[in-house]
Amino acid sequence: MNLPATPADLIPFLFAVITSHTFIQIILFPGFIHVTLVTAFLTWYERKIIARIQLRIGPLYAGGPGGILQPIADGVKLIFKEVMIPYKADKPLFLAIPLALVVMAALPFAVIPFGQNWVIANLDVGLVFVFAMISLFPLMILIFAWASNSKYPFLGGLRSLFQQVAYEIPMWISALSIVMLAGSLSLVDIVNAQARIWFIIPAFLSFIVFFISVMAELERLPFDLPTAEPELVAGWFTESSGAIFMLQFLALYMKMYLMSSLVTVLFLGGWWGPAFLPQPVWFIIKTLIVATFIIIPRAVFARIRVDMLIRIGWTRLLIVALVNVFLTVLLITSGLTAILGM
Amino acid sequence: MEIAIPPDLVFVILAAVTLIAAVLALQAKELIYGAIALGISFIGIAGFFVFLDAPYLAMLQIAVYVGAVVVLILFTIMLVRREQSDELLDRPEGGQGAVGLWLAGLLAVAIAGVAALAGPNLPAAPPAGNLPVSSLGLVLAAEYPIPLVILALLISAALLGALVLAKVEK
């Protein structure tokens, strides 16, 4: 298909673009609308789960069963609130970074396979693409914290930087054993390699390391030092309000959905499941189960100290991840993977 | 569905983004903006890698240069106070700017001359195609094992050196 040559060609061209397979995949499923809807669902789901664990009821009045329309009410409220920009804040950066955060959180969904054919772009280097986008988050957060020109966001931004940069390393290394087992960096190939046996079984150690690193990357309890309420008010988003806060909130929960789906792809067999449900449904069910296990610790555990955080990251997780790489090499060279039918 | 976009247009846009961001990185009054412009320039270079059929290099360019190097630069800038950071800005004085422009112009003329003289006679590069990432590892491990080991040694030495420096501070 060529670009339109004359203005008369423009309307048919736009129509052809809108009805094309790629465009529908990008906009509807597995693209932006689906991601936004699941993200909104996750915010309600988290409040509900935590309320149940703490013997409360949680959102109730916003309509639908169990107040499931609460995210919409929250969104409307936040959009109509005034955006307060702090005095002496760096205005362009303060307004631009929340948008960039949403883009960074949404882009990796282009390579996440929700089914055999439900993937927008089957990149050869899909896994590295996801990691590259994730590695931009601490940068954005640090710039936003600086642009707020206030001390609590700045401290939170620095903590976020240390934490995310430190835990990226065990995360990459633990994903390395999956890449060795699958023999590919493409997420579709990685899921296809799990048709017989999910990688959580041969690579259980790396699943543990990856899951803990994911918790730290997402700044979820017990790793929520960058947004620790008793010490830093609300951490790096202390100064944000209204629509700015909504965008950051959206980006954070989108990242949670992204990380849960990454765990599903790498360890839980992606879309594979009994045939009575379509592939994307299996994928979303598995992802929501992973998200549940990411949410539950928030109601159960206390926050860990900074020195414990650093020690766990650099002296425990990193070493376990490195040992696990050698174990995986042993597993592959000893021929056990061939016996398991991978 | 494939939309045919002229490759020259992609090249011009990428080159413009990379070069303008690079100039901004040098000229920004606020150091933070300079660092951000540097990051955009790195992303433009990653775009060139994608354009040259090397997506793996492009992703690593983003992860390492934008995700780590720019973060380190920003972190260093933020450690110094604003009044100090103004002193760090080193504006060219007197004839320095003119000399720089002359040198850049000479270099541009030299490159254009070489391209005009030798360009038409050069054999066309073979298309890279869709090589798997593993071929990169095979080439590195099979054809350049010694540079690879020396690089690994260098990185370990740098890591150990950093540890020693951090220890001495205490």
The C-alpha of A259 sits at a distance from chain B's nearest C-alpha, in angstroms, of 17
The C-alpha of B16 sits at a distance from chain A's nearest C-alpha, in angstroms, of 21
Give the whole-angstrom CA distance, residue A217 versus residue A2: 43
User: What value does the mean pLDDT take over residues A124-131?
Assistant: 87
Q: Is the pLDDT of residue B88 over 60?
A: no
Q: What is the pLDDT of residues A130-160, one digit of tens each?
A: 998 888 888 888 888 888 888 888 888 888 8
B85 with B141, same domain: the answer is: no
Please indicate whether residue A339 or residue A19 has the higher confidence score (pLDDT).
Answer: A19
CB pairs under 8 A between A and B: 78
Whether B130 and chain A come into contact, CB under 8 Å, resolves to yes
The C-alpha of B67 sits at a distance from chain A's nearest C-alpha, in angstroms, of 5
Q: What is the pLDDT of residues B4-25, one digit of tens each?
A: 667 778 888 889 999 899 888 8
Residue A293: half-sphere exposure toward Cβ, Cα within 13 Å: 14
**Domain end residue (candidates: B55, B89, B123):** B89
Please indicate whether residue B78 or residue B83 has the higher confidence score (pLDDT).
Answer: B78
Report pLDDT for B169: 54
Residue A46 structure tokens: 């988290």
**Domain end residue (candidates: B72, B89, B106):** B89
Assess contact for B31 and B81: CB atoms under 8 A: no
Q: What is the pLDDT of residues B27-68, one digit of tens each?
A: 877 778 888 899 899 999 998 888 887 888 888 888 888 888
Q: Is the pLDDT of residue A43 over 80?
A: yes
Neighbours of A7 (CB within 10 A): 7
Q: Among A205, A202, A204, which Cα is nearest to A335's?
A: A202
Report pLDDT for B107: 92
Please list, residue by residue across A206-240, b when 16 or more beta carbons sit within 10 angstroms of its beta carbon and e when fewer do.
Answer: bbbbbbbbbbbbbbbbbbbbbbbeeebbbbbbbbb
In a domain, A272, yes or no: yes
**Boundaries of domain holding A117:** 86-340
Q: Which of A246-260, A306-320, B59-73 has the highest mean pLDDT?
A: A246-260
Q: Among B53, B58, B73, B57, which Cα is nearest to B126's?
A: B53
Neighbours of A328 (CB within 10 A): 22
In a domain, B123, yes or no: no
Give the whole-angstrom CA distance, residue B169 versus residue B148: 32
Q: Is the pLDDT of residue A63 over 70?
A: yes
In a domain, B158, yes or no: yes
Whether B9 and chain A come into contact, CB under 8 Å, resolves to no
Q: Is the pLDDT of residue B106 over 90?
A: yes
pTM of the full structure = 0.84
* CATH classification at residue B70: 1.20.120.1200
Which of A135, A143, A158 lies closest to B67 in CB terms? Answer: A135
Using 50, 70 and 90 to split pLDDT, how confident is the model at A311?
confident
Q: Is the pLDDT of residue A23 over 70?
A: yes
Q: Is the pLDDT of residue B2 over 70?
A: no
Using 50, 70 and 90 to split pLDDT, how confident is the model at B1?
very low
Q: What is the pLDDT of residues A190-211, one digit of tens each?
A: 888 888 888 888 888 889 999 9
**Boundaries of domain holding B146:** 135-170
Assess contact for A309 and A216: CB atoms under 8 A: yes
Which of A22, A93, A146 lies closest to B1 in CB terms? Answer: A22
User: What value does the mean pLDDT take over residues B143-160?
Assistant: 89
Nearest 5°: phi and psi at A2? -100, 160
Report pLDDT for A341: 61
Structural domains of chain B, count: 2
CA torsion, points A52, A204, A225, A303, in degrees to nearest 10?
A: 50
Touching B: A residues 258-297, CB under 8 Å: none
User: Using H for helix, E for strand and C for coil, what is the string for B42-78?
Assistant: HHHHHHHHHHCCCHHHHHHHHHHHHHHHHHHHHHHHH
Q: Among A78, A80, A119, A265, which Cα is nearest to A185's?
A: A265
User: Using H for helix, E for strand and C for coil, what is the string for A38-102?
Assistant: HHHHHHHHHHHHHHHHCCCCCCCCCCCHHHCCHHHHHHHHHHHCCCCCCCCCCHHHHHHHHHHHH
Task: Report the residue of chain B nearest A125, measured CA to CA.
Answer: B56
Question: CA B129, B133, B138, B139 torsion: positive or negative?
Answer: positive
Using 50, 70 and 90 to split pLDDT, how confident is the model at B150?
very high
Residue A96 structure tokens: 């631009």
Please indicate whether residue A261 or residue A65 has the higher confidence score (pLDDT).
Answer: A261
Whether A26 and chain B come into contact, CB under 8 Å, resolves to no
Touching B: A residues 99-138, CB under 8 Å: 123-125, 128-129, 131-133, 135-136, 138
Strand boundaries in chain B, DSSP class E: none
- Amino acid symbol at B167: K
Three-class DSSP category at B11: helix
**Domain end residue (candidates: B89, B118, B152):** B89
ipTM, 2 dp = 0.78
B65 with B144, same domain: the answer is: no
Give the whole-angstrom CA distance, residue A15 versus residue A5: 15
User: What value does the mean pLDDT take over residues A18-24?
Assistant: 79
Tell me what percent of the residues of chain B surpass a pLDDT of 70. 80
Whether B78 and chain A come into contact, CB under 8 Å, resolves to yes
B85 with B139, same domain: the answer is: no
How many Å is the Cα radius of gyration of chain A? 21
Using 50, 70 and 90 to split pLDDT, how confident is the model at B130?
low
In a domain, A183, yes or no: yes
In a domain, A71, yes or no: no
B17 with B85, same domain: the answer is: yes
> Which residues are CB-contacts of B88 (< 8 A; sequence separation ≥ 6)?
B31, B80
User: What value does the mean pLDDT take over residues B92-115?
Assistant: 84
Whether B14 and chain A come into contact, CB under 8 Å, resolves to no
Interface test with B, best of A20, A143, A151 (most B CBs within 10 A): A143
Burial class (CB in 10 A: 0-12, 13-18, 19+), A4: middle
Give the whole-angstrom CA distance, residue B65 versus residue B125: 27
Q: Among A248, A172, A187, A152, which Cα is nearest to A217's?
A: A172
Using 50, 70 and 90 to split pLDDT, how confident is the model at A280?
confident
In a domain, A33, yes or no: no
Q: What is the pLDDT of residues A163-193, one digit of tens each?
A: 888 888 889 888 888 888 888 888 888 888 8
Structural domains of chain A, count: 1
In a domain, A120, yes or no: yes
Which of A2, A93, A132 lies closest to B63 in CB terms? Answer: A132
Give the whole-angstrom CA distance, residue A271 versus residue A263: 12
